[in-house]
Structure 1
């Protein structure tokens, strides 16, 4: 019987595991480390967040992105985007050094049991734990517009389905969306010789400004402080005070979660898009149908004018929508017990515990409760420390027990050590 099973090995899951191991919890970690970053983003993409706001979290603050870059002879400077491949490699380095051994098998089912929970791996092994932390990232929550659902995947895909855009070279592709995923995907497509256009509902595309220098005068810091989500007091509040965000009225939290830090492109991708991509803001796809050689899209602009166009493929860079019913690894019985917020996402208490005792959540699925920071790597630090405190309260822990051996606590090398159950 384990104290804790961590399901998911992305930035949140690995950070939770590091904090849990340091707290002496008897735990197991499951999932392919950094899978979303390694398997669902094409080569050539960059991290949108600043390097100093992109750290995974260990209690000592030792295994930072800056430390990884220094060890690798790389730089991690403010206002210089980091390649996604480098960030994924950093996550693997963190996993080797700051986390007990990660079991790369997929957990296919989690159900309640008399003593807590039973989790079943893809090959049928059953494990038992008193608490479970689901840190499953964004992939269970892929959102595709209703007008495109049901079309064959040779015609319509989600942007997260691609780690290689090469098959679209020389083809005609329409990207739907106005956020970073849409705009950077379009830029990469254009740069490899794809005929590409971007359709977005917004009347105009939004672009983030070049971030101000990290070193600021006292007046500048008071007027517009830096934060892990960008400059300004509002972003600072979202970034640094998730527990206070949780105390806002539910209607306010839901509104902010749905609208704050909305679709926008990074400053460094703007020129690449505007010089090479056809842009059609203010348009919505009202119908789509397969035709010989691709599909036909019926469009309506903001004034109600309709038009049609044909394309060979649509990439829907339309984000993710967290919802309780998309947590398919939970048994139907367990899933049905979870209280939900107005947007359908599970409600969580101050320790990130759901309404079912012992089941904890992390990442995007908690954004409606704890704010926009939960959509970004920066939120992993708050989540890891808060969630592990919640687990210890649930277990009735008081003093911290002897810590679980973790690779790298004595040196920066060594193979991961398994935790015994």
Structure 2
């Protein structure tokens, strides 16, 4: 077979999209709109339904909570109008996670109806070009390109000092867990809980535990400044440009010029991903937090010891200590290619990393150093910035990924 015939054959193969959260569904919708054969694998919105606590509210405003589609009529407000749900449209409207999950499943039914709810177990290069995607059903999909859109899956981060106390891994029934393991805060009722962290996840996890009847809740934050909350819509700076995250020049640049981000030096990119839109609670959480949750700040956890009666003792720097029945690490997520076990060892080893991090280094249009292998959503943050940590990033990423994957 000559080169041109081989290229035509490859173009007849589908693009495989792994993941059915906002980024996977959005990318698939854009591919289909281009007429590209596409197969999409995963359980729709599973991270939102299985790993977010009941009663959680989105920090993003409604306008920043739209899953991008190739045609109008598929935003959050469109879903509310189509189903008769309460309308969420102003910056004062706070979106419940349950509503957003239903919206994502509606988006899937409208634009990705033939989603295959199977798990991808292996992805390897195929001799002659393209990829071989093995499914847990036993089937094999031969694809011309692959888009990894697995969201937060496998990236829950527990600091080593906390992980050392649970060598078999964090669990909601053990002494230490991760915040993603508590979809039902009511299970914490009657317990003394310590939450390690200072971001939205930590502060909201603490509030939900307190409201669910926990005996006491304490946030342990290493920062020396007070636990902070954002400004409400009517207190945003007036003379700075608008962005989905608030009024600020930096937020505007990161939102609308994400393509330039990957040209920054690696240390600068990684520092910005950590700091921008970092540890800060939503403005609407402040009132619920005050008086319900205690705070120990300015102390890092140095050691975790199991005390009598199944209690956990956090030994902090400076000689301070906190005891609780259970410790929750609300310490976020860190992308690590090693956690993507479905990528074949040879394929994974061939991928260029972003600086000294274990995250993939991406080139134009979110393509990795392995031609035809794309990453979108959180794994793209090291290359394209903190915008990729939020649903609103689908507007930037999905059309570009689809355009590039269509031409592989």
- Per the alignment, residue 134 of structure 1 pairs with 148
- Per the alignment, residue 369 of structure 2 pairs with 355
Q: Return the offset for 1:150.
A: 4.3
Q: Are 2:128 and 1:108 aligned?
A: no
Deviations 1:78-118 (A, max 9, x none): 22111000000000000000224111111121111123111
Deviations 1:5-47 (A, max 9, x none): 0000000000000000001111110111111111111111101
Deviations 1:49-77 (A, max 9, x none): 01011111111132000111122331112
Q: Are 2:199 and 1:205 aligned?
A: no
Q: Return the offset for 1:363.
A: 0.7
- Per the alignment, residue 323 of structure 1 pairs with 336
Give the CA RMSD over aligned residues.
Answer: 1.6
Q: Return the offset for 1:267.
A: 0.8
- Per the alignment, residue 8 of structure 1 pairs with 19
Q: Are 2:45 and 1:34 aligned?
A: yes
For residues 37 and 313 of structure 2, what CA distance do their matches in structure 1 show? Answer: 53
For residues 124 and 295 of structure 2, what CA distance do their matches in structure 1 show? Answer: 47
* Mapping of residues 21-420 of structure 1, within 5 Å: 21-73=32-84, 74-76=86-88, 77-114=90-127, 115-152=129-166, 153=171, 154-194=174-214, 195-203=216-224, 204-212=226-234, 220=238, 223-301=239-317, 305-342=318-355, 343-394=357-408
Q: Secondary structure at the match of 1:118?
A: strand
Q: Return the offset for 1:289.
A: 2.2
Deviations 1:259-298 (A, max 9, x none): 2111110011111112101111112111112233334334
| Closer, same or farther: CA 180–328 of 1 in aligned 2, 3 Å | same
Q: Secondary structure at the match of 1:139?
A: coil
Q: Return the offset for 1:229.
A: 2.3
For residues 221 and 203 of structure 2, what CA distance do their matches in structure 1 show? Answer: 10
For residues 366 and 69 of structure 1, what CA distance do their matches in structure 2 show? Answer: 30
Deviations 1:169-195 (A, max 9, x none): 011111111011111111111112201
Normalised to the residue count of structure 2, the TM-score between the two structures is 0.91
For residues 252 and 286 of structure 1, what CA distance do their matches in structure 2 show? Answer: 28
For residues 115 and 305 of structure 2, what CA distance do their matches in structure 1 show? Answer: 44
For residues 235 and 207 of structure 2, what CA distance do their matches in structure 1 show? Answer: 27
For residues 271 and 191 of structure 2, what CA distance do their matches in structure 1 show? Answer: 39
Q: Return the offset for 1:123.
A: 2.6
Q: Is the 8 A contact 2:219 2:294 kept in 1?
A: yes
For residues 249 and 37 of structure 2, what CA distance do their matches in structure 1 show? Answer: 39
Q: Return the offset for 1:212.
A: 3.5
For residues 223 and 13 of structure 2, what CA distance do their matches in structure 1 show? Answer: 49
Normalised to the residue count of structure 1, the TM-score between the two structures is 0.88
Q: Return the offset for 1:168.
A: 1.2
Deviations 1:144-203 (A, max 9, x none): 010111434211110011111222101111111101111111111111220111101111
- The alignment covers a number of residue pairs equal to 385
For residues 213 and 102 of structure 1, what CA distance do their matches in structure 2 show? Answer: 43
Q: Return the offset for 1:213.
A: 8.2
Alignment gaps of 5+ in structure 2: 1-11
Alignment gaps of 5+ in structure 1: 395-421
Deviates more, 1:36-45 or 1:286-295: 286-295
For residues 126 and 269 of structure 2, what CA distance do their matches in structure 1 show? Answer: 33
